[in-house]
Amino acid sequence: MSLLSQIRLFVERRVAFPVDESALVLDVGSGDKPSWRADVLLDRYVGEEYAGQRSGSAGARVTRPLFDADAAAMPFADGAFDYTICSNLLEHVPDPGAVLEELMRVSRAGYIEVPEAASAKIVDFPSHVWWCRMVGETLVLTAKEQRHFDPEIGAYLDRTGLDAKVAKVLDSRFEDRVVMLHWAGRIDYRVDGEVPAAFMERALTLPGHPRGLTAGAIRRATDLLTMRQQRRIRARRIRFDDIVKPELRRGDGTVLEPRVYRV
């Protein structure tokens, strides 16, 4: 990938979102790398025991109000957000269809990123439980039944240590390694199959994405490019009752703070 292509991909994935500063943005599955643009975060795996679902960090980053809740049953009101970011989450969850329906319920538009199936079938992460691909305009998620698409090839890559080298080659064409879906109004999707319960349970305890120097460099670069916007956006006061479901409202005018909320 050329340097110009890398910059364009970085800007599309991390920096440029098609909303202005007044838009209310939710990051679903924010983990240890919440988007700079998100006003509110949601993550089900906040604690250290789920570090494998992220990048091996001790816990989720709580830099903004973070709701500890299931993405398939969010505590937010219908249409509470202008935009949602859902990056590298759907391949981890038991019911991605329910998450997609929730994204459409609480938001008017958003960005979804998932690993592309063909690339993942060569080298995939142990904690992923769905193959993801675009078929025309439809996002298709197919249940995995085992870690490797081909167990014999997977065992060979593990045994020889070539998995890391092959992954590096695939990452050199990262734009072909992920599906980047921008949506508005409605997400056209299909879910095929169901992940076996035992495989799902095991995936929750397996190592997640390796945490390297690149991730830290990307975060620092993003913060540098968006520093002024972040300051203006973080000054916004968001009331608890303005975003949660009617039955969860407190009626006391509580303003959200950068901490974990469990409702």
What is the tens place of the pLDDT at every residue in 202-253? Answer: 888 776 555 554 556 777 788 888 888 888 888 999 999 999 999 999 999 9
Q: Three-class SS string for the chain?
A: CCHHHHHHHHHHHHHCCCCCCCCCEEEECCCCCCCCCCCEEECCCCCHHHHHHCCCCCCCCCCCCEECCCCCCCCECCCCECEEEEECCCCCCCCHHHHHHHHHHHECEEEEEEECHHHHCCCCCCCCCEEEEEECCEEEEEECCCCCCCHHHHHHHHHHCHHHHHHHHHHCCHHHCEEEEEEECCCCEEEECCCCHHHHHHHCCCCCCCCCHHHHHHHHHHHHHHHHHHHHHHCCCCEHHHHECHHHCCCCCCECCCCEECC
The token pair that represents 233 in the structure block: 């956006």
List, for residues 54-97, the tens digit of each pLDDT value.
555 567 889 999 999 999 999 999 999 999 999 999 999 999 99
Q: What is the pLDDT of residue 213?
A: 47
pLDDT of residue 191: 98
**Average of per-residue pLDDT values in the chain:** 90
Which value, to the nearest 10 degrees, does the dihedral of the CA atoms of residues 165, 181, 235, 68 take? -70
Which has more pLDDT, 92 or 1?
A: 92
pLDDT at 5: 75
Give me the residue spans of the domains in the chain.
20-261
Asked whether the predicted pLDDT for residue 166 surpasses 60, the reply is yes
Q: Is the pLDDT of residue 7 over 60?
A: yes
